[in-house]
Structure 1
């Protein structure tokens, strides 16, 4: 009677290569999905739903591999398998492996209204604002431990107890590469960041409070208006680019009769961000014209003009009514 075969634990190099290969395939799948969505729905719709597209791509990739108890393309490339107390992991564990890395971050960024939370519970708002930094630090700590110990590359796998085994026998005459030095370097960097953070908090907390009060008072005294509307009120919109796109004929913030303009003139009124006819036209300090929702969405990600890369200040946008 033959015994049950025993597979060796996967080596660090195999796990790292598998993870890198999965990232490559997810990025490739996302790029193809973006090209398809852009050709079918347009650039503005794609910009509005980019987070949902990224979530769907990740859930599809890992749901059709890990969720079905099969290898991902990266794991297949390096001949490793996921293992818990059972092989393959249970359905609940596989579902957690698919959902945990992507779904909580998506819900936090898309559905949590930070302005509303701040007014209701300042303490909770502070915790939510610091959550991404805490998760990033936790990921780096887990990565340092992985480089030293050689197991649990992802935080979710460490929590769920999911290891990797290899279908390739180890060669007793070769020594696998060691990544312990990388783990030590990451740990030293984290320790340095912790010491720097503690020192900065202990020495400048009172000064920061005074500066914050003074800045808030100055901002109130120097409120900027666009057409009798405070700019701060306009910037409080959580996601202006998520508003449904409206036809240029329904633009109430222009003196032009859009319907009577020649086709050539209307073609020249294209917004370079959404590639559609401009609505609620505004000009940047460098003189380039965009839709209001498009340039605000862009400016919150990058404080520079998309065309000339000049510094962009959302409080100094100028509404244009005759172009």
Structure 2
């Protein structure tokens, strides 16, 4: 590793126009990942010597410890990582004027390698607090838990969108670098060969479209699930009402049953093939398949005939 301050000297103004591009940053990150994986394997082998119980309990922490040790050692000693030295890049502050402080680099390392675990841990604590807090009304509690569920699944989409932005604009590859404002510059930018970046821009567009389509599909699935639960609650309320009426009027307890819910039919609906179901039951069925539950004849929602004053 090479001393950073010895490399760049006293002035970084010349590096404002020497920002590292996608190829250098990606290769640097990949090179560092290779070395941290090897270091994690070494830590795992050492941990194995302490016994099988300890190895099983703490082996998953070896990778995190290796990443923090590897990058922390370079930052605390004001050094380039092996990946940065390999590609000829160096970290500078957001103004491209100075080497970033050790504290800022440490925050960046913690966010990069421990940010996900910390984020999910905080959400778990909030979820437990909301569930155990009796002062929160049930409706508000349900909405807050739904927001937390969305936040639990959001990091993967945020990372994918951030990466697509990096491919398009050669911005920051890691979210931790964007939060802390750290940048990469090329040390010997005048010696770097010219690369065509159109491939990275195409990859950025493809990544953005992929994330967008995935978000739309997940949103649609969530809407379908919410609609299904709403219909189930409506059916449950209707059945309780019918049950109460049946108890009040025993002669109605012999009402025909719906073959789907095995309960007295509610809002009886006729199919073209001559079968009768609850209105909501047959609609839910047709959401999954377009055929009659009994005879398997092709069936669409537009073919259903609601019957009035019919049991």
State the TM-score, normalizing by the size of structure 1.
0.57
- 2:192 corresponds to 1:180: no
- 2:86 corresponds to 1:74: no
**How many residue pairs are counted as aligned between the two chains?**
211
Match of 1:31 among 41, 49, 53: 41
- 2:123 corresponds to 1:102: no
What is the distance in 2 between the residues matched to 1:125 and 1:102? 26
Tell me whether 157-166 or 131-140 shows the greater mean CA deviation. Answer: 131-140
Alpha-carbon spacing, 1:59–1:116, altered in 2? closer, same or farther (3 Å): same
- 2:14 corresponds to 1:9: no
Matched ranges for 1:173-322 at <5 A: 174-178=194-198, 179-208=200-229
Ranges in structure 1 where 5+ consecutive residues have no aligned partner: 213-323
Where does residue 44 of structure 1 map in the other structure?
53
Cα deviation, 1:23-82, whole Å, max 9, x if unaligned, reads: 111111111101110122x22222212343333222111110134332111111111001
Larger Rg: 1 or 2? 2
Cα deviation, 1:291-311, whole Å, max 9, x if unaligned, reads: xxxxxxxxxxxxxxxxxxxxx
Tell me which protein shows more helix as a share of its residues: 2
Where does residue 120 of structure 1 map in the other structure?
132
Contact 1:101 1:156 in 2 (8 A): yes
- 2:157 corresponds to 1:137: yes
Match of 1:53 among 46, 51, 62: 62
Shift of 1:135: 1.2
**What SS does the aligned partner of 2:90 have?**
strand
Find runs of 4+ consecutive structure 1 residues off by over 6 angstroms: 209-212
State the TM-score, normalizing by the size of structure 2.
0.59
RMSD: 3.1
Contact 2:165 2:204 in 1 (8 A): yes
Contact 1:66 1:94 in 2 (8 A): yes
- 2:101 corresponds to 1:90: yes
